[in-house]
Copies of this chain bind each other. A is one copy, B any other.
Amino acid sequence: MSLRLLTVSALALGLVAAPAVAQDARTEAQAAVIRDAALKSNVALDYVTQITTRFGPRPAGSRSEQQAAAWAADYLRAQGFQNVRIEEFPLVGWERGEDSGAIIGAHPQPLVLAALGHSPATPRGGIEADVVRFTTLDDLRAAPDASVRGKIVYVDLGQMHPMQDGSGYGPQTRVRGAGPGVAAAKGAAAFILRSVGSDENRLPHTGTTQYVDGKATVPSFALSAPDADQVSRLIALGEPVRLRLSSTARTYQTHSQNVIGDLPGATRPDEIIVLGSHMDSWDQGTGAIDDAAGGAITIAAAKAIAASGQRAARTIRVVLYGSEEVAQPTRETGNGGGVYARNQGAAVEKHVIAGESDFGADRVYALRLPAGAQGSDFQKAANRVLYPIGVLSSSQVETEGGVDVGPLGPLGVPFFGLAQDGTRYFDLHHTANDTLDKIDPAQLSQNVAAWAGLVWLIADSDVDFRALRQAAAAAPSAR
Report which A residues bind B (CB closer than 8 A): 49-50, 53-57, 64, 67, 103, 107-110, 112, 200-203, 225-226, 229-230, 233-234, 237, 284-286, 431-433, 435-438
Contact = CB atoms under 8 A, between A and B. Distances in A.
Top-7 shortest CB links A-B: A56-B109, A202-B432, A226-B435, A53-B233, A200-B437, A202-B433, A226-B437
A231 to B, nearest CB: 10
Nearest to A63: B108
Given A56-B230, A200-B437, A229-B436, 8 more contacts: A54-B234, A56-B103, A57-B109, A64-B109, A109-B286, A225-B437, A226-B433, A230-B436
Contacts of A50: 237
Contacts of A55: 107, 109
B53 A202 contact: no
A284 B109 CA distance: 10
Contact of A203 (B201, B229, B234, B438): B201
**Highest count of chain B CB atoms <10 Å: which of A53, A108, A285:** A53
Nearest to A159: B437
Given A53-B230, A107-B67, A230-B286, A203 B203 contact: yes
B285 A202 contact: yes
B285 A53 contact: no
Q: How many copies does the complex hold?
A: 2
Nearest to A239: B54
A303 B286 CA distance: 49
A110 B56 contact: yes
A286 B109 CA distance: 9
A293 to B, nearest CB: 15
A438 B56 CA distance: 30
B202 A435 contact: yes
A67 B56 CA distance: 42
Given A64-B107, A229-B437, A431 B202 contact: yes
A107 B54 contact: yes
A226 B438 CA distance: 9
22 contacts: A49-B233, A53-B230, A53-B233, A53-B234, A54-B234, A56-B107, A56-B108, A56-B109, A56-B230, A57-B110, A112-B432, A200-B435, A200-B437, A200-B438, A201-B433, A202-B285, A202-B432, A202-B433, A202-B435, A229-B436, A230-B435, A233-B436
A285 to B, nearest CB: 7
Given A225-B437, A435-B226, A53 B201 contact: no
A236 to B, nearest CB: 9
Contacts of A53: 230, 233-234, 237
Contacts of A286: 109, 230
Contact of A226 (B49, B57, B107, B436): B436
A435 B200 CA distance: 9
Contacts of A233: 49, 53, 436
Contacts of A56: 103, 107-110, 230
A237 B435 contact: no
